[in-house]
Chains A and B, each alone.
Chain A
Amino acid sequence: MVAVSKTEMTAAKEKKTGNLSMISAVKTYLPIVGLIIVFLVFNVLTNFRMVKNMPLVLSQVYVTMIATTGVFFIMTMGGLDFSQGSILGIASIVVCMVSRINIPLSILCGILTGALIGAFNGYFYVYRKIKSFIVTICTMFLFRGFIKYLTTNAPVAGSAALINFDRTELKVALTLLVLVTGFVLFRFTKFGTYLKAIGAGEKAAMFSGIRTDKMKFWVYVLSGAITGFAAFINVIKVGSVTSSGGSQLETQILIALVLGGMPISGGAKVRFENIIVGSLLYIVLNSGLTMMGFSTQMMQLIQGIVFLVFVAVFADRKSLQVIK
C-alpha cells in the first residue's frame, strides 16, 4: 500500500514538473476564457437576448458577489461555510423588520445579525475544534429552521420605502465598495498574506507569529457580516422575505468560487479575481440556461457537470486533505 501510494505520488510529481507551465496556463486562463466563451455561446443561441437583458442578468449577481467575497476569505484559509444561505435569510428578515423603524439602522442590524451567526460558526469551529463544514452544515439547518418559523404564516414584509432603493447605480456602488475594500485588504495588507499562510500551513503560520485561532474566528465573523450587508440588497429587490429567502446561496457561492478558478483547499494559489470571474460566470451560465428554456431539473444537471469539471481541474490534490 505504502509503495503504491508513493509511486503514484511521485508519478504525479514528475508529470507536474513536466507539464507545469501548460497546466498552470490552463488554470490561469480557463475561467476568464470560459466566461467569454459561455457569454458568446449563449448570446448566439438566444439571438442576443442576453446582451439586451444585461441589467436583469446582472441584477442577480450583486448579492452573490458580495457574499462570495466573505467566503473567499474563509476558503483561502482552508475553511468552508455552508451556512451562508441561512445567514442571508435571517439577516434579510432582520433588515425587513427593522426597516419599518429606520432604514439605515436596518442595514446595521443586518450586518450585526450576520456577524453574530459568523461568530457562532467561528466559536464552534475554532474553540470547540469541530471541522468547519460540519459546524456550518449544522448552522445552515438551525437557522433555516428559524427562517421557516418566522415566515410560517406570511412572508416578512419590510417598509414600503425599501423598494425606492432598488436602483442599479446603488447596487453597483455597494458591490464595488465591498469588492474594492476586500481587494485592498487582501492584496495590500498583511491580512491576505496571513490568510494564505494559514491555508497553506497552519502550524508553520502559527510558528511565524500569526495568532491563527483569533484570525480564523474573526474571519468567520467578517464573512457573516459581509453577507449580512448583502441582505439589504437582497431585500430591496422585492421588499419581503419568504421561507426560502437566501436558500441555495451557499451552493451558488461555492460553485462561483470554483468556476472562478479557486483551489478548494485555499492556500497561496488563490487570487482575488476568482470572486469576480466566478460570480459572473455562474450568473451568465444560469441565466443563459434559463433563457434557453431549460427546465430547473435539467439546469441542475448541467450545473453539476460543469462544477465537477472545474473542481477536477482546479483541485490542488497535494493539499486536499487540509480542508478544515
Chain B
Amino acid sequence: MSEVRLEVKNLCKSFGITKAVKNVSFNINKGEVHALIGENGSGKSTLTNMLTGIYSIDSGIFVLDGEEIHPKNQVDANNHGVSIIVQELGTLSGLTVAENIFLGHEERFVKCGIKNTKQMIKEANELLHSYGFDRIKAQRMIDDYNFEDRKLVEIVKATYFDPKIVVIDETTTALSQEGRNELYKVMDKIREKGNTIIFISHDLQEILDRSDTITILRDGVYIDTVKSKDVSEEDLKRLMVGREVTGDYYRSDYGSKVSDEVVLSVKDVSVPGLLNKLDFELHKGEILGFGGLSESGMHEVGKAIFGASYDRTGSVKLSDGTEINDIPTAIQHSIAYTSKDRDNESVVLNQSIMDNICLPSLDELADKRHMLSDKKLRDFADKFAKDMSVKMVNVDQFVSDLSGGNKQKVVLARWIGKDSDIVVLDSPTRGIDIKVKQDIYQLMDRMRKAGKSIIMISEELMELIGMCDRIIIMKDGMINGQIERSESLDENNLITMMV
C-alpha cells in the first residue's frame, strides 16, 4: 500500500515579499491519512490551497498518479480528483442542500437546458442516506441547518465522487465531538477505498490518533515526514517549533484555594431559545470554565454577561451592585469579552492594529479636553502589541493581514491594555497553534495570580480541565453539572454530563 499518489516537487509561493512556501518537496502515498502540521503561517494551508486551485503556483509542480496537474480552480481540481473541506463555512446560503452538494456539477442533471431538480434532490438524498446523515433533507434550504450540519453537507459535497485526494483543512476545530466522529467515519471509508486524505489540524493528539504519516512544515520550509506510530506529541511539538517546548503547557497547580470574594453574580438569566434560568457566581482570581456541546448555550453565556445578548432577562451584577445590561456599561466596569466569532465580533478587520487595540481605551487615553494624540495612541498600542508579541510590521498594519493566532493576540492586547478585571474568553484558542496557545494559557495563569477573574468558554475539554478552577457543564441552555479542579479529572467525567 505504499504506492505514491501525489508528488510535491520544489513548490514555491510568495505573497508580496512574504515567502509562504519555500521549495517544498515530499511524497504522499495511496490509502493513507497524511497529516500536515506546523505553526500558524508555516505554509500548510497555502500548500493545500495551491493543490486545490485556490492559489496559483509560483514555481514547482504537483504530480498526481504520475501525471502533472495544474488545477485552475476548485471545480477543475475536483475534475482531477482533488477536493477540499475548508476551515470556515464552505456552503452557500440561499441554496438548497442538494444545490450545494452538486454545485459546479449541475450539468449532470441538465437536459436540453432544463435542470431536473427532482432527480438532483433524489440523488442528494441517496447520498446523504449513504453517509448516515438522514436527518438532513436535500430539498430543504441550507440555511435551515446549523453550522455543524452544514459542515456535514460540505463533507458529502467534497467526498461523494470518490476523489483521489481529500484535503481536510482544520475542519475539526469547528465541530463538536459528535461531528468529529462523523468525520472520522468518513475518513476511514475514504482510506479503505485506497484514496488519500491530507489532514490539517492543530490538535496534535487528534493527529497522532487519526493519521498514518505526518509531514512537518516550519516557516514555509519542509522539515520532515514521520510515521505516526514512531513519534510522540512531544516530538511533534519539538519538530514544529524547532526547539524543545519548555515550561508547562497548562497550569500545574492543584488544590490552591480560590478566594471567597464574589466579583460577579449571575441570577436567573434567560435568553429565549438559548439560555434558561442560569445562576452562578464568579470569584476573584478564579478561572471558571464553561463546557458542553456547541449548541448547549454555553457561547451565549459570554454574551449575556457582556450585555451583548438580545432579549436577555434576569440580572448580571458586580460585587458593588452595578447591573450589567449593555456593552458600554460592561466595558466601563472592567469586563472584557473575546468572541468565538473572532473576525466579526472581536476585531475590526479593516482597521489598523493601533485602532483595534486603542478602541475600548480611548476615554482613558484622551486628555482633559478629550483630545487624542497620535503618539500616545501609537505608544499604547505598540506597548501592548509587543507585550503580547504580535507578529507584525508595525501597528499601522491592518488586522485583516494577520493570521488567526495574531488576531487573537491583538484582541487580548486590547483588553490587557484596558486592564480588565473580569475577562470572558469564548474559544480563546480556536484555530491557534501550540506556541500561541501556550502563550495564552500562561497569560491566563498570570492574570489569575494578579487577581483577575476569568470565564473560559471552550469546546476543548482538555484545556478546560487543564486551566479551570471550576468547570460548569451546560446542556440545553441549563447548567447540567459542576466539577472542581482536580488532577484525576479526565474528559469522560465531563462528556457524561454533556450528553
Contacts and interface: CB of A to CB of B under 8 A. Distances in A.
Interface of A: 1-4, 6-7, 10-11, 13-14, 17-18, 20, 184, 188-190, 193-194, 196-197, 200-201, 203-211, 267-269, 316, 318-319
Given A13-B15, A207-B327, A208-B414, 14 more contacts: A1-B103, A6-B54, A10-B55, A11-B56, A17-B16, A190-B362, A196-B351, A200-B350, A207-B337, A207-B345, A208-B348, A268-B348, A268-B351, A319-B350
Contacts of A316: 350
Contacts of B362: 190, 193-194
B53 A204 contact: no
Nearest to A188: B371
Contact of A193 (B74, B78, B358): B358
A189 B358 contact: no
A210 B328 CA distance: 7
B90 A196 contact: no
B350 A267 contact: yes
B15 A201 contact: no
B349 A3 contact: no
B412 interface: no
A204 B54 CA distance: 28
B56 A207 contact: no
A6 B359 contact: no
Contact of A189 (B77, B346, B366): B366
Interface string B152-166: 000000000000000
A209 B337 CA distance: 10
Contacts of B349: 200-201, 204
B54 A193 contact: no
Given A189-B366, A190-B362, A318 B350 contact: yes
Interface in B102-119: 103-104
B351 A206 contact: no
Given A6-B74, A189-B370, A204 B348 contact: yes
20 contacts: A3-B103, A3-B104, A17-B18, A188-B372, A193-B358, A193-B372, A194-B362, A197-B355, A201-B347, A201-B350, A204-B346, A204-B347, A204-B349, A206-B327, A207-B306, A207-B345, A208-B359, A208-B414, A209-B330, A209-B332
B344 interface: yes
Contact-size category for B: 35 or more
Which of A13, A184, A203, A208 has most B Cβ within 10 Å? A208
A13 B54 CA distance: 11
B350 A3 contact: no
A212 to B, nearest CB: 10
A204 B344 contact: yes
B54 A200 contact: no
B348 A7 contact: no
Contacts of B352: 268
B308 interface: yes
Contacts of A201: 344, 347-351
Interface string B465-477: 0000000000000
Nearest to A206: B327
B4 interface: no
Contacts of A188: 371-373
B73 interface: yes
Contacts of A194: 362
Interface in B328-348: 328, 330-332, 337, 339, 344-348
B75 interface: yes
B103 A209 contact: no
Contacts of B371: 184, 188-189
A200 B372 contact: no
Contacts of A11: 56
Contacts of B346: 204, 207
A20 B347 CA distance: 23
Contact of B15 (A14, A190, A193): A14
Contacts of A14: 15, 55-56
Contacts of B339: 207
Contact of B351 (A6, A13, A210, A267): A267
B68 interface: no
B119 to A, nearest CB: 20
Contacts of A267: 350-351
Nearest to A319: B350
A197 B90 CA distance: 27
Contacts of B72: 7
Nearest to B359: A208
Contact of B360 (A7, A17, A209): A209
Interface string B19-41: 00000000000000000000000
Contacts of A269: 350
A113 B17 CA distance: 54
B489 interface: no
Contacts of A197: 348, 351, 355, 359
B159 to A, nearest CB: 16
Contacts of B261: none
Please list the 6 inter-chain residue pairs (A to B) with the smallest Cβ-Cβ separation, ordered nearest first.
A3-B74, A17-B16, A209-B331, A190-B362, A201-B348, A200-B350
